[in-house]
Amino acid sequence: MAQRRGFREYLAGLLAPRERNKTLTALAGAEPVTGSKLPAVQRLQFFLSESVWEPEAVNARRLELLLAGPATAPHGGGVLVIDDSGDRKDGVKTAHVGRQWLGRYGKTDNGVVTVTTVWADERLYYPVHAVPYTPARHFAKGKSDPEFRTKLAIGADLAVRARAAGFCFRAVAADSAYGDQDGFRGELAEAGLPFVMALRPRHGIWARAEDAHTPVDAARALAWGGPDDPGDWQAVARRFRDGHAETWYAADARLGAWGPDGARRLVVVTADPATLPGKATWYLVTNLARPGGPREEDSPWPAAGLGEITRIYGLRHWVEQSYKQVKDELGWADFQVRSDIAIRRHQALVNCAFSFCWDTWLTSQPPPGPPPASPQERGHRSPAPAAPDMPAHPSGTKLAPRTARHPQLADPRDHAHALVAGMVQSAPAR
């Protein structure tokens, strides 16, 4: 019972509107420093650090619910995205902390890096697994220690675990930090997993002097005469989350042993083949066969044309959106605990909160409410009358089925279903 209460209170704190960093005092609604000794805060501290429960078991149960839900069940058209993200953490006593590259800040700093997998399609996306990376300095023999694992090894293992958990997907997608690594691609291929991953434009290989040495060299060798004479390029449609569509161009290129019918294909996708703009050009490596090619018949996976390759890698960017939400709204990096188990528990609970938001959005989407009132109108507007034969506060109202219009305290006149912290403390939500 105590663990269930801690679980409910922790998630309620994570889901409440963000007014400050979601540390334990914030989750319990206490003052940042003076309230740290209050029973509610200490109860959450014990639940996170000392209580006996396994984050892997909680996460496995969350994945079971996602797999069983008709709106969230994965399908063969989705993508499993592998990525890692770091957050600043001071000191040297916290588990997994070390001076390492933090991609979110674009520099090397002291922090904790976690490797994650996200399942995504064009409609929704949610985290699957998360494992913190432990720098070599935490091991007695450094990188030679048998317990040490690189981020690449962790990512490959998470992809295999996702498949074992029942997640089906069209391919594994990752950025150039993973795609540039021959060993990582080999591990995925050996595990029987298809992939579409990015390469750095200047990712060099050994080749004859007259041949292409980098992906960008291979792209520039392709024929292009303009939209009316595309040459080696093929027009592909890209659809963005705001609903608009753009015409990009894709082509199979040759780079060393990589080619349209090789064990590895180099696919270039760009908004402008003439200039290959840096922020609108992808250099992708994949082991998916070309439709109609000699490898299609023996390939264990369905062949993928240029449009399909573009679609698969386009879904990778949902992981960046999920990072914004788990970090900026749900408090992923706000933990103030040091032990490995407490950090893993916090991450598992944040992923539960993320999935809770999806469940609420998919199952109870209320009609859009009236336009928000201006600050001057809020104090002088009379409340709207209740509908005939309907109580002013209907029983069975769900907890927070809609979000506030602005990142401020909810105004009960504008938001009839606002989240009230005391409601959770006084009785369990329906």
* pLDDT at res. 425: 45
Instruction: Dump pLDDT digits (tens) for 78-95.
Output: 999 999 999 999 888 899
pTM above 0.85, yes or no: no
- Segment 347-356 shows an average pLDDT of 95
Alpha helices in 114-271 (DSSP H): 151-164, 176-179, 182-190, 215-220
Q: What letter would DSSP give residue 281?
A: E
pLDDT beyond 50 at 392? no
Q: Taking every pair of C-alpha atoms in the chain, what is the biggest distance, in angstroms?
A: 83
The residue type of 108 is T
- Segment 148-174 shows an average pLDDT of 96
Q: What is the mean pLDDT of the chain?
A: 84
* pLDDT at res. 371: 47
Indicate the range of 107-111, 197-201, 279-283, 420-424 predicted with least confidence: 420-424
* pLDDT at res. 409: 41
398 vs 253: which has the higher pLDDT: 253
Instruction: Dump pLDDT digits (tens) for 290-310.
Output: 999 999 999 999 999 999 999
Instruction: Dump pLDDT digits (tens) for 95-145.
Output: 999 999 888 788 899 999 999 999 999 989 999 999 999 999 999 999 999
Which residue has 């990015």 as its token pair?
Answer: 198
**33: confidence class by pLDDT, cuts 50, 70, 90:** confident
CA angle 191, 343, 83 (to 5 degrees): 35
- Segment 240-257 shows an average pLDDT of 90
Which of 306, 149, 138, 293 is CA-nearest to residue 222? 306
User: In the chain, pLDDT over 70 holds for what percent of residues?
Assistant: 84
* pLDDT at res. 265: 95
User: In the chain, pLDDT over 90 holds for what percent of residues?
Assistant: 66
- Segment 154-167 shows an average pLDDT of 96
Indicate the range of 319-323, 347-351, 391-395 predicted with least confidence: 391-395
